[in-house]
Amino acid sequence: MSERSSEDASAPSETPGQQNPGQNPERRGPPPNPIHHPIFLPILLVAFTLWFGYDGFVTTDPEMLEHQTFNRIMYLIMQPICFRAVPRGIQEFLEDQQAAAAA
């Protein structure tokens, strides 16, 4: 009886064709780094652009008025970068989603 119970304990509880719903067998290694996500940089650029725009054109805080010229210049530099990076990031994200759905 002890031989049979040790065999039952070592036998897999599921058939080879079945998988646990919580496990992804194709993914190996550590989880992906969120910095490598195609939308990460565009979101960061938009956040900085909004920050520079607010501090450069909207705020009335006397301490921030010292840096108003810097914020306006940075806003004007970041705006065209955002206009280029955001559509490219969205396009890369959609291509990754389509490639993952096809695989």
For 19-53, the pLDDT digits (tens) are 555 555 576 777 777 778 889 999 999 999 999 99
Instruction: Quote the mean pLDDT of the chain.
Output: 81
Tens of pLDDT, residue by residue over 54-82, are 999 999 988 888 999 999 999 999 999 99
Report the pLDDT value the prediction gives residue 43, as an integer from 0 to 100.
Answer: 93
Report the pLDDT value the prediction gives residue 33, as an integer from 0 to 100.
Answer: 78
Report the pLDDT value the prediction gives residue 2, as an integer from 0 to 100.
Answer: 54
Report the pLDDT value the prediction gives residue 5, as an integer from 0 to 100.
Answer: 54
Cα 56 from Cα 26, distance rounded (Å): 48
